[in-house]
């Protein structure tokens, strides 16, 4: 149980690595397209980008890394609580998640305390108000959420819209991959799980990837699978980001057009959980895992990493919609 918690939390750190990246790019264009949409859509967009990576409303998700949002609402709301105090409690907890403030002890036991993250305060307040006003456990809400997911794509979409959409696709893939990996490690052990760090088997089923006929690849400057070798453009993105990380600067977003497609690059960072297959051979990568890896990947370069390093990039390709051409 303890390792499960730990790995869940560590997987979240991976999510965080990407979400840090997202919040930076988001704030830069905050004034643009998103401001024009109605408040309800705006709130859903904000929750999708900031909270649902962990508090996923999809109940069928295999390995949860946090309670779904409606459970949180249930714990905070009652007949007597005033809107302002509900909002303040949510905002205060998210800004400073501590056990003293928390009320969901079972969730803390199962998932560990929510990690501290940076959120835009105005957005956070909007999310909390939305949660007070809307019963996110009702069928009516799920119907709205469903139509939101279908609707939001064809909205007016400028170039920066592609960047955000690519980020969501990368985030979604990352979350699916993470839970599949964790599940496999738990049931088969690390050596048995080596065939699960692969995105080929992951269907990009959501509506956005269909509308944009999006595809997603993972590449690296030190690939395990030679088929995942970064090309020169991808290598230069990695080089730039490594330089920015060293200088303590944010990694700048990369999107460009190629053959009528919009291509986005998104960082893949290591967390402690990756070390058992990408860390130091002998100490972190156990012999049994090493044997399984050598058999499948004789030219493996993807070893010797530490946590929080740039392991590779997600390359998301989206076809431009007619009206943007």
Should residue 55 be labelled a site residue for ligand HEC when binding is judged by CB under 6 A? Answer: yes
4-33 mask for ligand HEC (x: CB under 6 A)? Answer: --------x-xxx-----------------
Spatial contact of 220 and 302, defined as CB atoms under 8 Å apart = yes
* Shortest distance (Å) from residue 34 CB to ligand HEC: 15
List Cα–Cα distances, 253 to 20, 29, 250, in angstroms.
12, 12, 9
Should residue 311 be labelled a site residue for ligand HEC when binding is judged by CB under 6 A? Answer: yes
Instruction: Give the orientation angle of helix 39-50 with respect to helix 2-28, to 10 degrees.
Output: 130
> The tokens 């609402």 sit on which residue?
73
Q: How many helices (H) and strands (E) does the chain have?
A: 12, 4
171-210 mask for ligand HEC (x: CB under 6 A)? Answer: ----------x---x----x--xx--xx------------
**Tokens representing 241?**
């980001």
Pick the stretch among 154-162, 205-213, 220-228, 241-249 that binds ligand HEC (CB under 6 A): 220-228
Q: In sequence order, which residues have a C-beta less than 8 Å from that of residue 145 and are 6 or more positions away?
A: 44, 57
**H helix runs in 112-227, sequence order:** 121-133, 139-151, 159-192, 207-211
When the beta carbons of 50 and 157 are compared against ligand HEC, the nearer one is: 50
Q: How far apart are CA 267 and CA 16, in angstroms?
A: 11
Should residue 50 be labelled a site residue for ligand HEC when binding is judged by CB under 6 A? Answer: yes
Should residue 265 be labelled a site residue for ligand HEC when binding is judged by CB under 6 A? Answer: no
Should residue 218 be labelled a site residue for ligand HEC when binding is judged by CB under 6 A? Answer: yes
Could you list the residues that contact ligand HEC (CB under 6 A)? 12, 14-16, 50-51, 53-55, 66-67, 72, 90, 93-94, 97, 102-104, 107-108, 111-115, 119, 124, 127, 181, 185, 190, 193-194, 197-198, 218, 220, 223-225, 228, 268, 270-271, 273-274, 276-278, 302, 311-312
């Amino acid at each position: 149980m303890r390792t499960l918690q730990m790995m869940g939390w560590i997987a979240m750190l991976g999510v965080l690595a990407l979400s840090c990246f997202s919040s930076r790019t988001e704030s830069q264009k905050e004034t643009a397209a998103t401001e024009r949409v109605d408040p309800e859509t705006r709130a859903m967009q904000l929750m999708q980008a900031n909270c649902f990576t962990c508090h996923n409303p999809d109940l069928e998700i295999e390995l949860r890394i946090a309670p779904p949002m409606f459970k949180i609402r249930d714990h905070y709301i009652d007949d007597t609580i005033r809107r302002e105090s509900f909002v303040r409690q949510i905002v205060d907890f998210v800004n400073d998640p501590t056990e003293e403030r928390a009320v969901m002890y079972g969730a803390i036991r199962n998932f560990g305390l929510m990690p501290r993250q940076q959120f835009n305060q105005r957005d956070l307040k909007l999310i909390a108000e939305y949660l007070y006003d809307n019963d996110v456990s009702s069928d009516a809400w799920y119907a709205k959420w469903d139509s939101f997911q279908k609707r939001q794509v064809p909205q007016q979409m400028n170039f920066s819209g592609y960047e955000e959409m690519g980020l969501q696709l990368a985030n979604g893939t990352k979350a699916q991959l993470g839970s599949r990996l964790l599940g496999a490690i738990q049931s088969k052990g690390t050596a048995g799980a080596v065939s699960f760090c692969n995105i080929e088997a992951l269907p990009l089923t959501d509506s956005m990837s269909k509308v944009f006929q999006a595809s997603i690849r993972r590449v690296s400057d030190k690939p395990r699978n030679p088929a995942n070798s970064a090309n020169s453009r991808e290598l230069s993105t990695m080089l730039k980001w490594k330089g920015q990380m060293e200088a303590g600067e944010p990694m700048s977003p990369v999107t460009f057009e190629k053959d009528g497609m919009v291509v986005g690059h998104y960082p893949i960072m290591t967390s402690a959980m990756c070390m058992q297959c990408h860390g130091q051979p002998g100490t972190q990568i156990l012999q049994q895992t090493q044997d399984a890896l050598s058999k499948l990947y004789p030219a493996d370069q993807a070893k010797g990493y530490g946590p929080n390093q740039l392991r590779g990039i997600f390359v998301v390709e989206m076809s431009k919609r007619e009206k943007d051409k």
